[in-house]
Amino acid sequence: MSNSPNRRLKAFIDDLKDTYDQIGEKTGYSRRTWQRVVEEGASIKSEYLIALHDIYGADVNYILTGERSVPTWAHSESVPTSAKNKSVQTSEHFVDQDNINYDPTEFVSVPYYPNVYASGGQGLIAENESNLQILFRRYFFSKTIQASPEGCFVVKLKGDSMQPMFKDGSDLLVDSARTKIKEGPAFMVRIDDDHYCKLLAKLPDGTIRMSSVNQAYQPIIGDPKIDDFEIIGEVVWDAHVSPYV
C-alpha cells in the first residue's frame, strides 16, 4: 500500500480529530466501511471520497493521484501560464487537466495567503501577500462549517505550539465574521505586526489570555486598551499539508 491512494487516505483520516464512529455518522457510511478502506486496503469508492470532500474538505485529487489540487484551482496574476492552463473556466463549467467537468455554481472561492503565517509559537510578520484563491464546495460552507464564505480566508500555521489540535504546516480557514471570544475554538489574532493562532480567554480585568495547546509554551497576555491588538477571526477548518510548500 506504499505511496498508494489507500495510504494517502489513511494519512488524511489519521489527521482528523474524529473517530471512525464519528466519521461514519457524518458521512453516512458505517464505521466498518471506513475501517476496511483505511486499515485493510479495501477499494476506495468514489462516493466515499465525495463524502470526505463535502464534510472534511478532503483533496480528492491528491488522495487518488498524489498531486495536490491547489495549483489547479488557484487563480493569480503571478501563476505561470503553464499552471493556469491546467484549469479552464467556460461560461458553463470548469474543465480540469483530467477533462472532468465541474459546475462552477457548485463552488465558491476564498483568498489563500500561503506566505502569511499564523504562528503557533512566537509570532511571525505577515509578508508577501498573495491573491491566490482556493475553491470550496458551497455545501461545505452551508452545511459542514455553517459559515459564509465572504470574509473567510486561508493562511498557513507555522510552529508546534498548537499541536495536537493543529499540526505545523497546516492550512487554516479563518472566518473573520467570528471574533467573539469563546471556549473551544482557536482564533487568529494580531499583536502589532505579528499574527498568532491561539486559544483565547477574556480575563476579569479586561485583558485577554492567549494560550497554546502545547504546554511547553507559556500564555501571552494582551491588553486591547494599550496594545495594537486585533482578533482577526475564528479558525473554522484546517488541512494538514507538507510544511511551507
**Residue range 105-138, pLDDT digits in tens:** 677 888 888 776 776 554 444 444 556 778 788 8
Predicted TM-score (pTM) of this structure: 0.58
Sequence-distant (6+) residues with CB within 8 A of 135 are 73, 107, 108, 109
> Grid coordinates representing 210?
492567549
| 51 Cβ contact list (under 8 Å, min separation 6) | 27, 28, 29
C-beta separation of 38 from 19 below 8 A: no
Maximum pairwise Cα distance, the chain: 59
Q: Are 231 and 200 in contact (CB under 8 A)?
A: yes
Q: Where are the domains of the chain?
A: 5-67, 107-240
Q: How far apart are CA 180 and CA 236, in angstroms?
A: 13
CATH classification for the domain delimited by 107-240, as one of 2.60.40.10, 3.40.50.970, 2.10.109.10, 3.90.1200.10: 2.10.109.10
One DSSP character per residue, 188-205 reads EEEETTEEEEEEEEE-TT
pLDDT digits (tens, 9 = 90+) for 198-220: 999 999 998 999 999 999 999 98
CATH superfamily for domain 5-67: lambda repressor-like DNA-binding domains (1.10.260.40)
